[in-house]
Amino acid sequence: MKKEINPFDYAGDIIKALPAGILLTSEAEDCVNAMTIGWGTLGIEWGIPIFAAYVRTNRFTHDLIERTGEFTVCAPLGKLTKEAAKVVGLCGTKSGRDMDKLAKAGVHLVEADIVRPPAIKEFPLTLECRVVFSQLQPINDINRRFEKFYVPNTAHSEPHVAYYGEILKAYIIE
């Protein structure tokens, strides 16, 4: 069962969960994927509720969102359990290009109501999002304070694309 919510009533839960990692699912053709995100912004632009995710261009997730323009944000309610932390670890270190992370994690997928990427029972706080704007963040335009996030010839060399997803529906899976 899904209990519909106002996402801003759970802003604290979402933002506080981010540093430990929450999940973002994406889907194209037959491929469903989840990646861990530690950065994100919840707010309002153009008079609509927005979740902005920041995805490096080398992520498989980037390819999937570019193809479909949809993603689902899946956060834990309360403290991350040991089991959920393992899923966050797996989805934050392996690429969906190489394996089916969600099958490996053994989580239960729940069909989303509006978008294609699924929700996840074990990460019940859910935002279904459709991209209304996206923008590459050129590394040269970013304050030098943050250059440690962009180290040439490493897994962290690529810039981020900011995906502004309109929150079409928000709920808690019960």
Ligand X SMILES: Cc1cc2nc3c(=O)[nH]c(=O)nc-3n(C[C@H](O)[C@H](O)[C@H](O)COP(=O)(O)O)c2cc1C
Binding stretches for ligand X (CB under 6 A): 21, 33, 35-39, 54-56, 59-61, 92-97
Residue 60 or 171: the one with the smaller Cβ distance to ligand X is 60
Shortest CB 132 distance to ligand X, Å: 19
CA atoms of 153 and 134, how far apart (whole Å): 25
CB of 142 vs ligand X, minimal distance in Å: 14
Distance from C-alpha of 21 to C-alpha of 117, rounded to nearest angstrom: 18
10 Å CB burial of residue 126 (0-12, 13-18, 19+) is: buried
Report the chain's terminal Cα–Cα distance, integer Å.
5
**CB of residue 164 vs ligand X: minimum separation in angstroms?**
14
* Sequence letter at residue 172: I
Nearer to ligand X, 130 or 157 (CB): 157
Residue nearest to ligand X (CB): 92
- 3-class SS of residue 61: helix
Cα angle for residues 51, 55, 106 (degrees, 5° grid): 85
Q: Which is nearer to ligand X, 77 or 99 (CB)?
A: 99
CA proximity to 91, closest of 134, 34, 142, 40: 34
Nearer to ligand X, 65 or 173 (CB): 65
Of 2 and 33, nearer to ligand X (C-beta) is 33
Q: Within 13 A of 143's CA, how many CA atoms are on the CB side? A: 2
CB of residue 88 to ligand X, shortest distance in Å: 6
